[in-house]
């Protein structure tokens, strides 16, 4: 809160009602109640204005305090989510040491689409702006079906996900596979977010199923760690 503009605004809020009460309200009240003196009515009006403005001022200061506290908590949560994504990428990268592995989290936007809210290793990629509707693409399907899916573009397994032309333009062309895992609430009744992982190196050809299994285990593990950070009320569930 900038205190100078705040003080000026509150001063104006005091002066205008006081002036109105002094010039217009008090004389009208005296006309209705001749037994009252105009000076007394003016004093009462000024006191009432002062009380109302004081209460409003304290309420606004308390509201700003709560907003600052909430903002600080959100910053801490974002930092923790980023650290978890870093660990996820690091662990997944051990399966292919030369790979460029990236991770992101997509959550439901108020317009209904899934959009990236947290990411790691994606700072210079245009697909940060990509979005999906539930059921659309690998990520949208993971959200809709509350499960995990792999789109492997080296074996044409990515084709059934049918991206739109705009999404195809936004997807980084060097990605060889995407793994999208739904992050479910503790009671599994709703999807909190979708955890995505991708790489520029194909899944291990010699032991493909084993690689997918280990990736799936990692996804489950990190989804559990991310759940209370993305939805704090789940922390006490």
Confidence band, pLDDT 50/70/90 cuts, at residue 212: confident
pLDDT higher than threshold 70 for residue 22: no
For residue 206, the model assigns a pLDDT of 42
For residue 108, the model assigns a pLDDT of 92
Where are the domains positioned within the chain? 3-68, 98-236
Q: How far apart are alpha carbons 148 and 145 in whole angstroms?
A: 8
Over residues 161-211, the pLDDT tens digits come to 878 888 888 888 888 889 999 999 999 899 999 999 999 888 765 455 677
Name the DSSP letter for residue 24.
Answer: I
Name the DSSP letter for residue 4.
Answer: H
Q: What is the mean pLDDT of residues 6-19?
A: 70
| Residues forming beta bridges with residue 74, ordered by sequence position | none
Q: What is the length of the chain?
A: 237
Q: How far apart are alpha carbons 143 and 134 in whole angstroms?
A: 6
Q: How far apart are alpha carbons 56 and 33 in whole angstroms?
A: 30
Residue with the larger pLDDT of the pair 36 and 196: 196
Q: What is the mean pLDDT of residues 209-228?
A: 88
Phi-psi region of 132 (alpha: psi -120 to 50; beta: other; left: phi over 0): beta
- Of 23, 41, 44, whose CA–CA distance to 32 is shortest? 41
Q: How far apart are alpha carbons 214 and 149 in whole angstroms?
A: 14
Q: What is the mean pLDDT of residues 46-59?
A: 76
Phi, psi of 61 (to 5 degrees): -65, -40
Q: How far apart are alpha carbons 218 and 190 in whole angstroms?
A: 21
Over residues 114-125, the pLDDT tens digits come to 999 999 988 767
Contact 128, 102 (CB under 8 A): no
Query: Using CB atoms within 10 A of its CB, is residue 49 exposed (0-12), middle (13-18) or buried (19+)?
Result: buried
Q: How far apart are alpha carbons 141 and 92 in whole angstroms?
A: 22
Confidence band, pLDDT 50/70/90 cuts, at residue 218: very high
pLDDT higher than threshold 70 for residue 69: no
- Of 179, 182, 189, whose CA–CA distance to 152 is shortest? 179
Residue 154: CB atoms within 10 A of its CB come to 13
For residue 145, the model assigns a pLDDT of 94
Query: What dotted CATH number matches 98-236?
Result: 3.30.450.40
């Amino acid at each position: 809160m900038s205190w100078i503009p705040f003080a000026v605004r509150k001063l104006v809020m005091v002066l205008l009602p006081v002036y109105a009460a002094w010039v217009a309200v008090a004389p009208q009240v005296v006309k209705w109640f001749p037994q009252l003196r105009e000076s007394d009515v003016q004093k009462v009006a000024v006191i009432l204005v002062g009380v109302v403005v004081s209460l409003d001022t304290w309420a606004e200061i308390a509201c700003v305090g709560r907003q600052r506290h909430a903002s600080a908590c959100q910053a801490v949560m974002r930092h923790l989510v980023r650290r978890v994504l870093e660990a996820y990428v690091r662990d997944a990268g051990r399966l292919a040491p030369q790979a460029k592995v990236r991770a992101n989290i997509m959550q439901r936007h108020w317009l209904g689409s899934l959009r990236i809210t947290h990411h790691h290793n994606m700072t210079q990629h245009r697909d940060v702006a990509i979005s999906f509707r539930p059921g659309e693409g690998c990520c949208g399907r993971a959200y809709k079906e509350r499960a995990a899916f792999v789109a492997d573009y080296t074996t044409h397994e990515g084709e059934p996900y049918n991206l739109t032309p705009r999404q195809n333009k936004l997807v980084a062309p060097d990605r060889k596979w995407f793994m999208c895992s739904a992050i479910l609430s503790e009671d599994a009744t709703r999807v909190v977010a979708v955890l995505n992982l991708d790489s520029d190196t194909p899944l291990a050809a010699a032991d493909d199923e084993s690689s997918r299994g280990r990736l799936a285990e990692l996804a489950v593990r990190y989804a559990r760690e991310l759940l209370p950070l993305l939805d704090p009320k789940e922390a006490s569930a």
